[in-house]
Amino acid sequence: MTDKSQDLSRWVEKRLPIVSSFRREYVDFAMPKNLNYLWNFGAFATISLGMLLLSGIFLALNYSPTVSDAFSSIETMDRQVASGWLVRSIHMGGVSMLFAALYVHVARGLYYGSYKAPRELIWLTGLGLLLMVMITAFAGYILPWGQMSYWGATVVVNAFNTVPLIGKALTSWLMGGEGLGNAALHRIYVLHFLTAFSIIGVVALHIATLHVAGSNNPTGIDPESSDETVPFHPYYTSKDGLGLCFFLIVYAVIVFFAPDFLTLAENYVQANPLVTPQDITPEWYFAPFYAILRAVPSKLGGLILATGSIGVLFAVPWLDKSPVRSAKSRPLLRPALLMLFFSFMALGFAGMHPPAGGWLWLSRVAVFYWYLYFLILLPLQSRGETASSLGFAKEGRE
């Protein structure tokens, strides 16, 4: 580097310290030594989000947000636009990969107590990010205007219509009319595009809160000296890179060999408001919440339970008052937490089947346990853990 270029870089750095800030936050940033591969899933989610945004821009250029043209524009992309099938497969597969990464990311936070002080804002911004991704994904699911897209949206609209006093008026105002039509589809298209790029800002906020409070670790005990930390680069950039190789292999298998594996065949049929599908089945990542929605006969009750199942996660930092963070050091809580994860998976399976017989009762038992864990088991267990439990955690660290 010549003297003039060095002078220029110093001049820019003095006025806009981008390079030094990047080095401080993403190269020299101190990380605990003992992070396992579950900490890679944040990077997986970021890569999936980037792929979705890039592919989404291309798809938006070829999409027509009208009832008469939406389905045909998707067909045109798949069959006539150069590499359109590939970009759409990347987009569809990316949604599943993103949700898989986010669900594991949240489960890891629950298991290792990453929601506890001083990391409450990391947890809350992460849940806000999850909500925005769910809204964006649901809006995107409607856009192809296939049978499942239309009737899935109809189920949600009918559920919101049951909200007392404001339900029907609010739904009509949001949709631009009484039912799903051109106005509604256009608004959903704008919502999908707007929230997708708004997610970038929430991701930046989430990372900023992480860099202020620092990363949690499997023991749940913060490092006390520099000997217990390593710089982010090259230690965790290489670890994330190795994990990303396997993640992208799975992603590539879905894109090139099984692009339709996670999509229902009925959604390749154009929406027909006069023909109701025999069974309305959501995408797998919405299945747990769809099972909760159908777990009770009341539409309003199902809506309250479904929204509350996410809302209760926001209260976890205050429901769990134990001085111990990691479930590795909480032997009584650990099996209850593992049962919670199994309940979520059970809800997913139940949501993919008709709400009758064993599947209906499975969803009811699973949603009962979901609320039982967060509202009763977790608070009671945390009250029973005292300084002796914290001492147990410290022994485990040694």
- Over residues 327-357, the pLDDT tens digits come to 999 999 999 999 999 999 999 999 999 988 8
pLDDT of residue 398 exceeding 50, the answer is no
Q: Is 215 a catalytic residue?
A: yes
Q: Which of 55, 114, 149, 240 is catalytic?
A: 240
pLDDT of residue 158 exceeding 90, the answer is no
φ, ψ of residue 353 to 5 degrees: the values are -125, 160
Q: Is 299 a catalytic residue?
A: no
Closest CA to 25 of 212, 203, 238, 220: 212
The pLDDT of residue 150: 93
Mean pLDDT lowest for which of 60-74, 97-111, 264-278? 264-278
The pLDDT of residue 260: 81
The pLDDT of residue 392: 47
Q: What whole-number distance in Å separates Cα of residue 248 and Cα of residue 275?
A: 39
Q: What whole-number distance in Å separates Cα of residue 361 and Cα of residue 278?
A: 20
Q: Is 322 a catalytic residue?
A: no
Is 27-76+84-276 in CATH node 3.10.450.50?
Answer: no
The pLDDT of residue 383: 80
Mean pLDDT of 95-101: 96
pTM of the complete model beyond 0.85? yes
Q: Which of 48, 73, 114, 215 is catalytic?
A: 215
Q: Where are the domains of the chain?
A: 27-76+84-276, 281-398
Closest CA to 292 of 314, 311, 276: 311
Mean pLDDT lowest for which of 78-87, 94-103, 176-185? 176-185
Residue with tokens 């995408």, as numbered in its chain? 283
Q: Are strands 30-32 and 229-231 parallel, antiparallel or unpaired?
A: antiparallel
Mean pLDDT of 227-252: 95
Q: Which of 186, 211, 328, 353 is catalytic?
A: 211
The CATH architecture of the domain made up of 281-398 is: Orthogonal Bundle (1.10)
Q: What is the mean pLDDT of the chain?
A: 91
Q: What whole-number distance in Å separates Cα of residue 50 and Cα of residue 173?
A: 32
Q: What whole-number distance in Å separates Cα of residue 179 and Cα of residue 201?
A: 32
Q: Is 69 a catalytic residue?
A: no
List pLDDT tens digits, range 266-295.
888 999 988 888 888 899 999 999 999 999
User: Is there a binding annotation on residue 353?
Assistant: no
The pLDDT of residue 231: 95
User: Is there a binding annotation on residue 105?
Assistant: yes
Closest CA to 233 of 22, 15, 13: 22
- pLDDT band of 365, cuts 50, 70, 90: very high
Q: What whole-number distance in Å separates Cα of residue 128 and Cα of residue 312?
A: 13
User: Is there a binding annotation on residue 206?
Assistant: yes
The three-point CA angle 321-327-331 to 5° equals 100
Q: What whole-number distance in Å separates Cα of residue 209 and Cα of residue 388?
A: 31
The pLDDT of residue 391: 55
How many whole angstroms from its chain centre is CA 247? Answer: 16
User: Is there a binding annotation on residue 186?
Assistant: no
Residue pair 119/206 in contact (Cβ under 8 Å)? The answer is no
Q: Which of 89, 114, 239, 329 is catalytic?
A: 239
Phi-psi category of 81—alpha, beta or left, where left has phi over 0 and alpha has psi -120 to 50? beta
List pLDDT tens digits, range 125-151.
999 999 999 999 999 999 999 999 999
Contacts of 165 (CB under 8 A, 6+ apart): none
What is the sign of the dihedral through the CA atoms of 52, 55, 60 and 65?
A: negative
